[in-house]
A and B are shown apart, each in its own frame.
Chain A
Amino acid sequence: MAAKTLIIDGKAVSAEEGATVLQVARDNNVAIPTLCHLEGVYDVGACRLCLVEVAGSTKLQPACTTKISEGMNIQTNSDRLRKYRRLTLELLFAERNHVCAVCVSNGHCELQTLAYSLGLDHVRYDYVFPKWKVDVTHRLFGMDHNRCILCTRCVRVCWHIEGAGTKNVAGRGATARIISDLDQPWGDSESCTECGKCVMACPTGALFHKGATAGEMEHDRDKLEFIVNAREKQQWLP
């Protein structure tokens, strides 16, 4: 494959053709915040946190789905982008009921970490306080819709790594939600293999191991990476 040269935040870098802006940025130690992106599954460009400015384009482009091209000039951390990222997070916090103090993922949550790193110390928008249920019908896992940010990582790992196809999205707009099978209680799901990949993939505490209490749960992302590497690169040693 041909090599391409491009500029990221003023620094000239080279990369292989076909790579995404996000891959190239991370290879060159340029941090771009992401939420819906997960190594090993395809990208959907939904969270809009990785938007970058590309010189010559009036539209902001998501780094995760945008392929690099020769001579691209990319800005990943302008004032405008930082403002939009903070606003996106503010909207997320106001949308559902994210209460860190009582969350299993407190301290190990990607949403929380991102908010810290972007200096988000309060939310200026009115909280919506929707009434969402918690599904604890499954033998091993639970799903708390109050903490869900609809990144659809669980859906993608369920379909494309495990191949079970249990998780899906139903509804639209603010009422969109993650469902199991045909919107059944998770415990009644016949397709769920109880592999737990969805729990590993979840960036927040929406999917959790039963029995974990506040701040106890850590997501085991290494295991996902191990499976993907084993399958795609035939690489069995971590």
Chain B
Amino acid sequence: MQLDDLKALVAKHIGARKKIVLRTCMSAGCMSSQADVIKRNLEAEVKAQGREAEVEVRRVGCMGFCGQGPLIGVDGLSAKEKLFEFVKPTDAPAIVASLQGAACDVQVGNPDHPFFARQMRIVRANGGIVDPERIEDYLAVGGYQALHQVLTEMQPSEVVDEITTSGLRGRGGAGFPTGLKWGTVAKSAGAKKYVVCNGDEGDPGAFMDRSVLESDPHIVLEGMAIAAYAVGADQGFLYVRAEYPLAISRLQTAIKQAKALGLLGGGIFESPFNFNIDIRIGAGAFVCGEETALMASVEGKRGTPRPRPPFPAESGLWGCPTLINNVETFANITAIINRGGAWYAGIGTEKSKGTKVFALTGKIKNNGLIEVPMGIPLRQIVEEMGGGAPAGGHIKSVQTGGPSGGCIPAAYLDTPVDYESLTKLGSIMGSGGMVVMDDATNMVEIAKFYMEFCMEESCGKCIPCRAGTAQMFHLLEKITQRRGTARDLAKLEELCDMVRHTSLCGLGQTAPNPVASTLKFFRSEYEALLQPDPFGPRPSVTTQSAEPVTL
């Protein structure tokens, strides 16, 4: 298919649209609150009230304000979009009637709320706007034009240069410069190369990648295709965890549609470039988010990591050079190509460019997905956008980076959110989980929770991670049950150091982070739980009780 054919298709699709659009969020969050029933009821009601000629009900992806869902956005009624919150299936008649000015008691959201106003949407630009199951919708917002531009106007090395210029860093957590990674794979010798998208999002409380895959699957496919052209690959694998069935089915639909239009497969845009994408479904192991374990899993082997080097860029899938990036990294690519690397580099801080999607959860008023420019102070996210702790509570700490991250105490809320600043505080950017804790939260319990998670998710290959996390969990259990002594705390700290420096892969190397960071900032909470050590140093005579000893 040529670009002109595509444009004709889009024009026809846009021409068929109706005046008023009811955008119904059909992402996993809202679906769990019967969004599918709501959509069915709305469609029936539009018919019943005879408004079919001007009103259409559209399935869309995540709008972000998940805590207020199910959400319905209304376009075409007034200049500003209208947003209905907490919609129930029985609200359908009132909502459709309200389009003609009737009174309606469904809660209406404020689109100027800081939760929306402070956002900057690049990765999630189409979330809540396009129908994730119709490629025409994605094409209508300029989809696949970046791929066309790359294939017809750019050399692969120019694509890599553009990404390097943008300053984009890996969004999976470690923040490795994406341009450098692409350049390494492009330069690696090998007739066969692969592109892999890591969608094995496993951090507790994180749902950024799921939302992108469910709301806008094509943006990821297009990013992968551009990457494949840049590095010289012709086969891609999209690794998604089985816990995301909706994302998997939408990706399958998207791949099928893109293939039908010649945007994936052989001879894309009638050029000599071929690229196929296959989906690989993870079987529930957290460690398969680690790139070498993920590759073993794609190859059909037991998902355990192996030592690096060799890095995947040199020797990855079946020994071939392989590019592995996270879902969110790929979702940034089309915007960088369309608007230029220099534009992207203008967003964010000196070393952290662009935006980052966070899943804001925990003890906070406004839960949901946000996309903010790098460098935004943490305080703006949790206090202005998130609205602070609910019911008179105070924010005590913000956990970023999941089980590999750490807890940032409230005193450091003015820290800018970028890779270096968070690392300096003993946490990490991570993939984007942000769990807010209020003053009722026991930090030792939090550390124990994450340690239990790491212990259960350790693959068992290397000793420090397998046996070390088990001992650390045991020590934390002892301390929380008020059976621990100062010597147990010392052992815990000793293991923090040892497990971090000797483990084979990132899971073990970062598993002590939640303990280390809570020990750094909330040590008194640990100490308050400690018991006197019966085998420890004896108290000196002067500190003994002054009471006379009686029989």
Contacts and interface: CB of A to CB of B under 8 A. Distances in A.
Interface of A: 44-48, 51, 59-62, 65-67, 83-84, 87-88, 91-92, 94-95, 124-126, 128, 149-150, 152, 168-169, 171-176
B81 interface: no
A48 B502 contact: yes
Interface of B: 285, 287, 302, 306-307, 309, 455-464, 466-471, 474, 491, 494-495, 498, 501-504
B498 A174 contact: no
Contacts of B306: 44-45
Given A44-B461, A124-B491, A172-B459, A91 B504 contact: no
Nearest to B498: A87
B496 to A, nearest CB: 12
B463 A48 contact: yes
B492 to A, nearest CB: 11
B502 A88 contact: yes
Instruction: Please provide the 7 A-B residue pairs with the shortest distance between their CB atoms, ordered closest to farther.
Output: A176-B460, A91-B467, A45-B307, A173-B458, A95-B467, A65-B307, A48-B502
B459 A176 contact: yes
Contacts of B462: 45-48
Contacts of B502: 48, 51, 60, 84, 88
A58 to B, nearest CB: 9
A95 B472 CA distance: 12
A45 B495 CA distance: 20
Nearest to B458: A173
A86 to B, nearest CB: 10
B460 A48 contact: no
Given A51-B502, A87-B494, A174-B455, A128 B470 contact: yes
Contact of B460 (A44, A84, A125, A173): A173
Contacts, number: 93
A129 to B, nearest CB: 12
A95 B474 CA distance: 12
A152 B498 CA distance: 23
Contact of A45 (B302, B471, B494, B504): B504
A36 to B, nearest CB: 9
Chain B at the A interface: mostly helix, strand, loop or mixed? helix
A150 B460 contact: yes
A173 B454 CA distance: 9
A59 B469 CA distance: 19
B504 A48 contact: yes
B467 A172 contact: no
B464 A173 contact: no
Contact of B467 (A67, A92, A152, A175): A92
Contacts of B457: 172-173
Contacts of B287: 172
22 contacts: A44-B306, A44-B461, A45-B307, A46-B461, A47-B462, A48-B462, A48-B464, A48-B504, A66-B307, A84-B502, A87-B495, A91-B464, A92-B463, A124-B491, A128-B470, A172-B285, A172-B287, A172-B456, A172-B459, A173-B460, A174-B458, A174-B466
A174 B460 contact: yes
A154 B118 CA distance: 58
A172 B503 CA distance: 15
A84 B494 contact: no
Contacts of B307: 45, 61-62, 65-66
A92 B470 CA distance: 11
Given A62-B307, A172-B457, A173-B456, A46 B501 contact: no
Contacts of B503: 48
